[in-house]
């Protein structure tokens, strides 16, 4: 980890970004909630009802149904998500947050990052936003 503020090569900046992203999630291990599972919980908390199924989760996360299915199954096993057969299409399951799933979002690791960003000077926030938007756009088009 770099301790002094020195100019870094682009690869080192990329590594720093990756390292920062990993540090958002302190908890590790089989019983912890993994980053992708947190993303599913956040999605289910805010999505419209017709989006709260396997295909909606997969589309939102930009992944195929198989990893989305594994994430939903893990969250169901942990008691954070409830899956019920949909009345309008019995082939699909409507996914909702359990009461425990709703309350665990109060400890969402993303809230730690939000506080850190809020504490940055506005100029740094604007630069960070612009830089990350550009990086995301480039990653999507490559």
Round to whole Å and give the CA distance between 140 and 142: 6
87: pLDDT confidence band, cut at 50, 70 and 90?
confident
DSSP state of 49: G
Taking residues 99-106, what's their average pLDDT?
Answer: 95
| 42 is a domain residue | yes
| 100 is a domain residue | yes
Residue 2 confidence (pLDDT) above 70: no
Whole-number average pLDDT of the chain: 91
Domain range spanning residue 41?
Answer: 34-111
The count of domains in the chain is 1
User: Residue 30: its pLDDT value, please?
Assistant: 66
52: pLDDT confidence band, cut at 50, 70 and 90?
very high
| 129 is a domain residue | no
Query: Looking at residue 74, which CATH number applies to its domain?
Result: 1.10.10.10
Taking residues 11-17, what's their average pLDDT?
Answer: 93
| 101 is a domain residue | yes
| 134 is a domain residue | no
Cβ-proximal residues to 81 (8 Å cutoff; 6+ apart), any chain: 40, 41, 44, 72, 75, 95, 96, 97, 98, 101
């Amino acid at each position: 980890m770099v301790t002094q503020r020195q100019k870094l090569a682009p690869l080192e900046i990329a590594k720093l970004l990756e390292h920062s992203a990993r540090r958002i999630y302190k908890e590790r291990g089989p019983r912890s909630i993994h980053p992708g599972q947190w993303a599913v919980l956040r999605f289910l908390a805010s999505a419209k009802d017709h989006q709260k199924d396997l295909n909606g989760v997969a589309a939102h996360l930009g992944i195929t149904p198989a990893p989305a299915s594994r994430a939903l199954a893990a969250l169901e096993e942990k008691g954070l998500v409830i899956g019920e057969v949909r009345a309008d299409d019995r082939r699909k399951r409507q996914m909702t947050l359990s009461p425990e799933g709703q309350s665990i979002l109060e400890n969402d690791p993303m809230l730690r990052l939000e506080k850190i960003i809020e504490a940055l000077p506005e100029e740094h926030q604007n630069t960070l936003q612009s830089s990350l938007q550009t990086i995301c756009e480039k990653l999507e088009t490559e």
